[in-house]
Amino acid sequence: MIHPISFIKNKPELCEFVLEHGLYGFLIWDTNLGMVYPSEIAIRSMGLSPHQSFPAACILNHSGYLLDSDYKPNDSFFGRICFDPSESAGFPFRFFSKVFKEAGKPYRILALDAAIESKDRNQTPIIQSEMEFKSVSRLLDQMANLAKIGGWDLDLRTGKANWTNVTKRIHEVGDDFNPSIESGLQFYHSEESRNKIAKAVNSLLEQGIEYDLELEMVTAKGNQTWVRTIGRAEYENQKIVKIYGIIQDINDRKKWEMALASQTAILWSFVEHAPAAVAMLDQDMRYVALSQRWIDDYKITLSKEEIIGKSHYEIFPNIGDDWKTIHSRGLSGEVLRCDEDIWRPPGWEKDQVIQWEIRPWNLLSGGVGGILMFTRDITESYETKLELKHAKEVAEKSYNAKSEFLANMSHEIRTPLNGIIGYSDLLAETLVDTAFNEYAQIVKQSAHTLLNIVNDILDFSKAEAGKLQLAEEPNDLKVVILESIRIMDIQAITKGLDIRLDLDHTIPLTLMFDANRLRQVMLNLIGNALKFTEVGFIECKLEGLASPNEKEVLVRISVKDSGIGIAKENQKKIFDSFTQEDFSTTRKFGGTGLGLAICRQLLKLMKSDLKLESELGKGSEFYFDIPFRIPEFDASLSSDPSLSVKEVQPGWNQEADTSLVKVLVVEDNLVNMGLMKNFIKRIVTNVKILEAENGEEAITVFQKEQPNLILMDIQMPVKNGYDATVAIRNLTEGKDVPIVAVTAGIIAGEKEKCFAVGMNDYLSKPVQKESLKQILLKWLDESNSRIKTK
Ligand code: ADP
């Protein structure tokens, strides 16, 4: 415990300190132990007995914290002396504090400068109001700081101006800045801001007119910022004696406002100038925004500004209930659209066709704010579309007429050709070993050439009319290519040319495709190569390419030759129908210019396209990449020859029965009838041929004779082949007789129709002896008759 007298002795500054501030006594405070000595007056001013003992720490600062060694107040602070720190009351004083040393140890001397409260409240009003003022002004300071609001004033009597700390911070000037009207105005750089503030300050000074402005200024450090500044006047005896105001940093808000304003402006100009009629409406169908096109398209007589805020139904009073329903569906969140809406606006002379879309727009806070309507007047393009459609129909009709004419002509030519080919065949066979055989051969050859041309025209017109169909079946690709080469081989050998084959063995053997049509393409390309090559080679190549997926293989098929080649400028046009490289080609090589056009059409059906690489004088290469489907394996489709019908048929190898086999030929054309009879007799020796000129006759003959097989023409007078078949099938004895259609096969779907009415097979005209033989063997055998063949 220190002794107070020895502590004070020889410490004049301590005495001075106590005398000056210790109106209500003083305390000695050990930074470790707390209060160690209260002076007599201090005890009394607290109304205590002199022998009261004090707890170690009993002084609280103004914030209610215990005064401890860490507390380093200024020389004065407000606080309380509490004998029980848990009790928040105690005696409030203003303290003066100073540290003095005794025997090397620091002690804090706390002078009780003024009592803030006492039993007689009136005793200390100033202290109390001073404290209140301090705390209020501190609060104000904090608020001003937070709100970035500074204050200023100018006393006109003294000419002295004041800026608060925040004002100085907003202007980014030092604490020593000397404010005045002039120096204040310097911060406004832009002409607009400077003019505004100068005018406002002038009116304030002269007429006391208040101002409240948002201005752009540049701080002392050169930063651009936005402030709101308010100025007011203070009067004394109706004279302005002082002006004062606040200044607030609103840069952040202003930046947001400006960004928002520019976004809104962009949005507005977008909507306004959108090359479409757009309108935005709120939940009550009042206009929020709209484009100029909206006004123009709907011939609205009001201006945009007049429309905004008005209801859509006020602008269009005649609007129908159907539209109102659409609007309310949009307002409840649905998106609706129509691509061609035809209506007649009131007062219009013709229909208007519009395309429209209505979709809801959402509020930031969620929920539908209204609808966006978009409409487009497509009357003109709709009318053009109708005209085009009509023109297309007319063109298609005349095109179809042309195709039909070509198809009919070809058919008409094919029928007599049938006779020529068949009989020249028979003639050549009859005239073997005579000089006439050669003539017969020439007739046959020419007829075949003619038939090829007619077939080409037929194919082409079918393709043009979209009537070409593919019959995709599992086929061996290599076999089909080899067959094509074999057919052309004789011509190649005659010309001294060699047809090479280059196969890629990674390509699967069996693939799905129409063998006849692919063969036709190959024959055409190889035929051309042979035609236009005198020396060198022809090469067919199969090359597997990277496949698009597991179910398909992509194969490049090419036919290359070392022939005359094709000039660059002609390479495109040769693919067109009826076009050759130049006119001399026809004279020199013949041909119709249809071959490549047909190849291209066929390949298109096979999802491929014909390509060409060629150099004049060096040769040409025609190639195409074709995607083949890999067939899914199905045991029932197995083509294992050991399972073939013929081999398992009982009695096939047995002694043939010598009884006569009856074949009924139904055919209206006498030449074809004769030809058919001739062929049949040459194939089957024990045959009795029955004849019928039309379907009606066929039924009668069938009922009388019960033939083993019927060869049925389709197009016949009186009753056609389909109807005759249906009638025969309706007879009890006609259920199982094999009926084979014999037809020119130019009409799409004909084959299917034959099967649908109950025929068993199909034979194409012109009938070739070999194919007829296959049919006879198959059906006469299958119907268990006994036939003898040559
Ligand atoms: P066509 O052979 O019946 O005249 P195509 O359509 O098959 O009709 O051929 C059109 C033309 O393309 C031919 O006339 C010929 O000028 C040219 N051409 C076709 N293939 C070859 C080829 N391999 N070499 C040179 N020219 C060819």
Nearest CA to ligand 1 atom 14: 580
- Long-range contacts, 344-349 (Cβ 8 Å, 24+): 346/318
Average pLDDT of span 224-243? 91
Confidence of residue 90 (pLDDT cuts 50, 70, 90): low
Q: Which of 260-269, 458-467, 525-534, 663-672 has the lowest mean pLDDT?
A: 458-467
Residue 658 to residue 635: CA distance in whole angstroms: 38
Q: 495, 580, 610: which to mutate for ligand 1, most atoms within 8 A of CB?
A: 580
591 lines ligand 1 (CB under 6 A): yes
**Å from CA of 611 to ligand 1 middle:** 13
- The pLDDT value given to residue 672: 82
Going by pLDDT thresholds of 50, 70 and 90, the confidence category of residue 57 is low
Task: Please write the tens of the pLDDT for every residue from 242-289.
Answer: 999 999 999 888 889 888 888 888 877 887 777 788 999 999 999 988
Count CA atoms closer than 13 A to 96's CA, side-chain side: 16
What amino acid is encoded at 247 in this protein? I
Residues 271 and 263: beta-carbon distance below 8 Å: no
CA proximity to 780, closest of 754, 761, 766: 761
Q: Is 92 in the pocket of ligand 1 (CB under 6 A)?
A: no
pLDDT surpassing 80 at residue 651:
no
User: Which amino acid does the sequence have at 608?
Assistant: S
Give 484 Cα–ligand 1 centroid separation in angstroms.
Answer: 18
Closest Cα to residue 375, out of 359, 361, 355?
355
Q: Is the pLDDT of residue 474 over 80?
A: yes
Q: Whose CA is nearest to atom 11 of ligand 1?
A: 580
Which atom of ligand 1 is found nearest the CA of 581?
16
Q: Is 456 in the pocket of ligand 1 (CB under 6 A)?
A: no
The answer, yes or no, to whether residue 493 has pLDDT greater than 50, is: yes
Q: In which residue are the tokens 């691509």 written?
A: 339
Question: Ligand 1 center to residue 471 CA distance, Å?
Answer: 27
User: What is the DSSP pairing of strand 537-545 with strand 368-377?
Assistant: unpaired
Other residues' Cβ atoms within 10 Å of the Cβ of residue 393: 10
Nearest CA to ligand 1 atom 23: 529
pLDDT value at residue 93: 79
CA of 627 to the centre of ligand 1 (A): 25
For ligand 1, pick from 535, 558, 574, 621 the residue to mutate: most ligand atoms within 8 Å of CB: 574
Token reading at 267: 């949005």
* CB 352 near ligand 1, within 6 Å: no
Q: Mean pLDDT, to the nearest integer, of 453-457? A: 79
Q: Is 532 in the pocket of ligand 1 (CB under 6 A)?
A: yes
Whether 642 shows a pLDDT value over 50: the answer reads: no
- Return the closest-CA partner of residue 420 out of 453, 450, 455, 458: 450
CA-based end-to-end distance of the chain: 151
Q: 528 C-alpha to center of ligand 1: Å? A: 6
Nearest to 788 by CA among 710, 683, 679: 683
Nearest to 249 by CA among 269, 272, 224, 232: 224
Mean pLDDT of 774-783: 79
Distance CA 707, CA 251 (A): 108
382, pLDDT greater than 60: yes
For ligand 1, say whether the CB of 595 is within 6 Å of any of its atoms: yes
Q: Report how far ligand 1's centroid is from the alpha carbon of 109 (Å).
A: 123
pLDDT score at 124 = 46
For the chain, the farthest-separated pair of C-alpha atoms sits apart, in whole angstroms, at 168
Q: Which atom of ligand 1 is nearest to the CA of 590?
A: 4
Ligand 1, residue 456: give the atom nearest the CA: 3
Half-sphere exposure of 348 (CA within 13 A, CB side): 13
To test the ligand 1 pocket, which listed residue (495, 522, 532) has its Cβ within 8 A of the most ligand atoms? 532
Given a cut of 90, whether residue 497 has pLDDT beyond it is no
Pairing of the two strands 91-102 and 105-115: antiparallel
For the CA of 563, the closest atom of ligand 1 is 24
Which of 56-60, 628-632, 755-759 has the least mean pLDDT? 56-60
Closest protein CA for atom 18 of ligand 1: 528
Q: What is the mean pLDDT of residues 137-157?
A: 80
Q: Does 422 sit in the ligand 1 pocket, CB within 6 Å? A: no
Q: Residue 741 has which token pair? A: 């259609």
CA distance 281 to 265: 18
Nearest protein Cα to ligand 1, atom 13: 580
Q: Is the pLDDT of residue 25 over 80?
A: yes
Beta-sheet strands, E only, within 514-639: 537-545, 552-561, 611-615, 619-629
Compute the average pLDDT of residues 704-717: 91
For ligand 1, mutation pick of 495, 596, 601 (most atoms within 8 Å of CB) = 596
- When mean pLDDT is compared over 26-30, 371-375, 760-764, the highest value belongs to 371-375
Distance CA 385, CA 343 (A): 17
Average pLDDT (310-323) is 90
What is the Å distance from ligand 1's center to 574 Cα? Answer: 7
Q: How far is the CA of 622 from the centre of ligand 1 (A)?
A: 11
Q: Quick one: pLDDT band at residue 654, thresholds 50, 70, 90?
A: very low
CA nearest ligand 1 atom 25, residue: 565
- CB distance 563 to ligand 1 below 6 Å: yes
pLDDT band at 585 (very low <50, low <70, confident <90, very high): low
Average the pLDDT over 59-68 and give the result. Answer: 64
Q: Which pLDDT value is given to residue 36?
A: 80
14 lines ligand 1 (CB under 6 A): no
Find the 592 Cα to ligand 1 centroid distance in Å. Answer: 9
- Ligand 1 within 6 A of CB of 564: yes
Q: Angle CA(201)–CA(205)–CA(208) in degrees, nearest 5?
A: 100
Q: What is the DSSP string of 402-452?
A: HHHHHHHHHHHHHHHHHHHHHHHHHHHHHTTTSTHHHHHHHHHHHHHHHHH
Task: Report how far ligand 1's centroid is from the alpha carbon of 459 (Å).
Answer: 17
Centroid of ligand 1 to alpha carbon of 479 (angstroms): 26
Q: Is 219 exposed, middle or buried (0-12, 13-18, 19+ CB in 10 A)?
A: middle
626, exposed or middle or buried, with CB in 10 Å at 0-12, 13-18, 19+?
Answer: buried
Residue 81, pLDDT score: 77
Which strand (E) or helix (H) includes residue 383?
helix 379-430
How far apart CA 168 and CA 544 sit, in angstroms, is 84
Ligand 1 atom with the smallest distance to the CA of 565 is 25
**Ligand 1 proximity of 620 Cβ (cutoff 6 Å):** yes
Contact call for residues 62 and 79 (beta carbons, < 8 A):
yes
Q: How far is the CA of 601 from the centre of ligand 1 (A)?
A: 16
Is there a cis peptide before residue 55, judged by omega within 30 degrees of 0?
Answer: no
Phi, psi at 789, each rounded to 5°: -115, 160
Structure pTM?
Answer: 0.41
Give the distance (Å) from ligand 1 centre to CA of residue 458. 19
Percent of the chain, pLDDT > 90? 31
* 8 Å CB contact between 448 and 421: yes
Question: Looking at residue 655, what is its pLDDT?
Answer: 39
Nearest CA to ligand 1 atom 19: 528
Residue 596: CB within 6 Å of ligand 1?
yes
For residue 620, how far is its CA from the centre of ligand 1 (angstroms)? Answer: 10
Which helix (H) or strand (E) segment holds residue 356: the answer is strand 352-362
Which amino acid, residue 157? R
User: Of 184-193, 383-392, 647-656, which gets the smallest average pLDDT?
Assistant: 647-656
- CA 450 distance to own-chain centroid: 54
Structural domains for the chain: 4-131 (3.30.450), 148-249 (3.30.450.20), 255-377 (3.30.450.20), 468-636 (3.30.565.10), 640-787 (3.40.50.2300)
Q: 68 falls in which pLDDT band (50, 70, 90)?
A: low
Whether the ω angle into residue 766 lies within 30 degrees of 0, i.e. cis, is yes
Structure tokens at 297: 């398209």
Task: For ligand 1, say whether the CB of 539 is within 6 Å of any of its atoms.
Answer: no
Q: Which of 523, 566, 582 to mutate to test the pocket of ligand 1 (most atoms within 8 A of CB)?
A: 566
User: Looking at the predicted structure, is the pLDDT value of residue 686 above 50?
Assistant: yes
Find out whether the beta carbon of 593 lies less than 6 Å from any atom of ligand 1.
yes
Going by pLDDT thresholds of 50, 70 and 90, the confidence category of residue 4 is confident
Q: How confident is the model at residue 129 (pLDDT cuts 50, 70, 90)?
A: low
Q: Cα(580) to centroid of ligand 1, in Å?
A: 6
Residues in contact with 141: Cβ distance below 8 Å, sequence separation at least 6, in sequence order: 165
Q: From ligand 1's centre to the CA of 698, what distance in Å?
A: 47
Q: Is the CB of 570 under 6 A from ligand 1?
A: no
pLDDT at res. 19: 83
Q: pLDDT category, 121, cuts 50, 70, 90?
A: very low
Please report, as a single letter, which amino acid is at residue 479: V
The string of DSSP letters for 643-704 reads G-HHHHSTTTTSPPP-SPEEEEEE-S-HHHHHHHHHHHHHHBSSEEEEEESSHHHHHHHHHH
Alpha-helical (H) ranges within 431-514 are 436-464, 477-495
Q: Give dist(CA 8, CA 303) in Å, integer.
A: 93
> Which of 455, 459, 460, 528 to mutate for ligand 1's pocket (most ligand atoms within 8 Å of CB)?
528
How much is the mean pLDDT over the chain? 82
3-state secondary structure 36-81: EEECHHHHHHCCCCCCCCCCCCCEEECCCCECCCCCCCCCEEEEEE
Find the length of the chain: 790
User: For 52-57, what is the mean pLDDT?
Assistant: 63
CA of 585 to the centre of ligand 1 (A): 8
pLDDT in tens, 687-704: 899 999 999 999 999 999
Specify the pLDDT at position 356: 92
List, in sequence order, every residue forming a beta bridge with 356; answer none if it has no partner.
338, 375
599 CB within 6 A, ligand 1: no
Q: What are the pLDDT digits (tens) for 551-568? A: 899 999 999 999 999 999
R_g of the chain computed on alpha carbons: 57
Identify which of 790, 520, 560 has the alpha carbon closest to the alpha carbon of residue 680: 790
Question: What's residue 721's pLDDT?
Answer: 92
Q: Say yes or no: CB of residue 714 within 6 Å of ligand 1.
A: no
CA proximity to 720, closest of 696, 737, 736, 701: 696
| Of 783, 781, 661, 668, the residue nearest 724 (C-alpha) | 668
